[in-house]
Amino acid sequence: MNDKKTHRDQLYIIGLLNNDSIIIKEIYEKFAPKVIHYICRNSGNEHDANDIIQEVLITIYHQAQKNNFKLTCPFDAYFFLLCKRMWFNVLKKTSKKEVTINEEILSINDDASLLSFETIEFDERQQLFEEMFQKLGNACKDLLKASFTIKSLQEVADKLGVSYAYVRKKKSLCVGKLTKLVQGSPVFKKFKN
């Protein structure tokens, strides 16, 4: 993916990263109507569309922040596919009937399709990690929060009133515990296949 040319619509990604209101408004004006129309036509309403659009923009924001994300296709296509897939996930969860997206098989080699798949997987992983993090005990949660917010472990140790060696060891054990929780979850096993 990295040898591909960055699309000029990368400006929307940068706008999101910078929390640039003008760009975000432009995204709504330009790209929201199509999504709203689509969701309203597929068992949803405007309120659902509102939720999906926000969720997708937050996901793009996170991915852009973390992975030095490079857009190699028009934003329109990428954004629309993401909204569509997230909406299908919602439908799958709420309705018992089988939902299929036939047209995607045809465009599987598209940059937009690939990128949106990557983003969806990224989002699902983040959600799983967050869920597992919440399962940790409070001692671990607090220590992890402190040691990732305050860069110096010595400072963390001073703050918590324990030794540097203890913080260092405890930090690795807590991340280890989280690793085990994630590895043991059925959702994670699904990612591997």
Partner 1 sequence: MMKEEEFTFFEAYLSEELSEEERLSFENRLKKERELSEAFNNYKELYGFLEHKFTTEKATEAFTKNLSEISKGYFSSKKKTKVIRFKPWQYAAAASVVLFLGITMFNNFGGNPAYSDFAVHETLSLTERGNQNKLYLNAEQAFNSNNYEQAEQLFSEILASNPNLVEVELYKAISLIEINQFTLADTILLGISNQNSAYKYSAKWYLALSKLKQKQYDDCDLFLKEIPVGSDVYELAQELLSVL
Nearer CB in complex with partner 1: 114/150: 150
DSSP at 4 = S
Task: Single out the residue of 94, 97, 117 nearest to residue 107, CA to CA.
Answer: 117
Report the C-alpha gap between 107 and 62 in whole angstroms. 25
Within 10 angstroms of residue 181's Cβ, the number of other Cβ atoms is: 17
Contact between 3 and partner 1 (CB under 8 A)?
A: no
Contact between 65 and partner 1 per CB under 8 A:
yes
Least distance to partner 1 from the beta carbon of 15, Å?
11
| DSSP at 40 | H
**Shortest gap between Cβ of 38 and partner 1 (angstroms)?**
8
Q: Which is nearer to partner 1, 6 or 183 (CB)?
A: 183
CB of residue 111 to partner 1, shortest distance in Å: 19
Q: How far is the CB of 2 from partner 1 (least distance, A)?
A: 18
The SS3 of residue 132 is helix
On whether the CB atoms of residues 153 and 168 are closer than 8 A, the answer is: yes
Site string for partner 1, 87-126 (x = CB under 8 A): ---------------xx---------------------xx
